Amino acid sequence: MKITKRVLAEAWRRTAARHALLDGVELPPVARSEDELDEWAEGTWGEPAEQAKDGDLCLLVGEDGTVRGRCGPHQEVFVTHDLDEAVFLIAEAAVRRRGGGLAEVAEALERIDPAWGRRFRGGEPDGTGAVEPCGRDPLEGFAWIAGSWREQDPYTTLAFFRAAPGRTVDPERLALLYGAGPAQVAAGTRLKDLKAVDDGRVHWDRQWESCCFGQAGGWTFPLHHDTPPGAFADKEAYAALGIEESVRLSATSAKAIYRFEYLRGDRRVDDGDPCVLELIRYERGHAPYLRGGELDFLNRALRRAELDHPELTNRFELYFHALEESLGLRLPRRDFAEGEVRAAHWAGGGR
């Protein structure tokens, strides 16, 4: 059945009538065009403008039956063609508006419908999958680096590359294409070797002209600050690495800007809104990406991280743990702590 404004209203009325927790909860304003949404935001149609600015949910039902949820007139938070999912997402928003933590929201939704509780806890579209707790210390995984990375330590850019299943991206070849010094790469130089020269003063002076690299969890990683001029000049050699996926996390020194970029091949996955890729826009308890969009897998992983690890108050640690769970990103903590990770200065740089 194609969703229309009337169909959605009737489905919500039936749902709200069956559950005491939804008693008296009205369907959010429903528009059938962007113009109606703008009128709502201006207070000339439906609810007053103050509610639009307050982050209330409003709905846009397209002619093809697509339901788009908006916080205010422009921030899209979900898109669905499924009536049951639309009703669930509206109910979730209504329950969350009452306040309380994520566990309380999950319990309230579970009282309305056990399937809704499972769906919320797992972040899954249909709520049919088993939801198992994480059961381990997230700071033993990828999230260990989140704290120091905010201070640009050890590097401002964390990059990860993965090839097709059964293949690996050669870390030495990748480091050389980045611009790492061939002699240090060939010698197997470690981070502790760079820091051992002149009690570490040389590396301190040249750390902006260096990189660390290696492999973990099926990903090849180079970590660095500035990328040297001429990096990736050999396009054929870069193509021969067979890279199919890449992730880049970048921190801008002194500006508190932290970005996440995920590419499949040469195509960036961003659901059409690159602004939301700034990590400071992620708030605990709120899905940072479009529900039902290409990055929804990260929303689900973040929901699990938030519910499994209420002890984590650092949102970067939560986000990095979600990246580990959803994409398998890893960094060898012991290798960095002991200085065993491979490292090199850029070729021809510095002194």
- What tens digit of pLDDT does each residue of 129-145 get? 555 677 788 888 899 99
Residues of the chain with pLDDT under 70: 40-55, 72-74, 124-132, 198-200, 202-203, 253-256, 273-276, 349-351
Single out the residue of 258, 264, 160 nearest to residue 212, CA to CA.
160
Q: DSSP assignment of 29-87, as one string?
A: PEESSHHHHHHHHHTSSSS-HHHHHTT-EEEEE-TTS-EEEEETTTEEEEEES-HHHHH
Cα 341 from Cα 230, distance rounded (Å): 24
Cα 93 from Cα 106, distance rounded (Å): 12
- Which tokens hold the place of 172? 């030495």
The residues with which 158 forms a beta bridge, in sequence order, are: 223, 249
Under 8 Å CB-to-CB from 204, ≥6 apart: which residues?
none
For the chain, how big is the Rg over CA atoms in Å? 24
pLDDT of residue 130: 54
Under 8 Å CB-to-CB from 293, ≥6 apart: which residues?
79, 271
Cα distances (Å, whole numbers) of residue 8 to 31, 49, 109, 172: 12, 23, 20, 56
Cα 343 from Cα 210, distance rounded (Å): 7
Under 8 Å CB-to-CB from 348, ≥6 apart: which residues?
181
The secondary structure of residue 313, as a DSSP letter, is: -
Cα distances (Å, whole numbers) of residue 287 to 3, 60, 211, 243, 292: 24, 19, 33, 29, 11
pLDDT of residue 54: 46
List the end-to-end C-alpha distance of the chain, in Å, as a whole number.
70
Residue 43 dihedral angles phi and psi, to the nearest 5°: 80, 15
Residues 291 and 304: beta-carbon distance below 8 Å: no
If one counts every other C-beta atom within 10 angstroms of the C-beta of residue 142, the result is 26
pLDDT of residue 351: 40
pLDDT of residue 222: 96
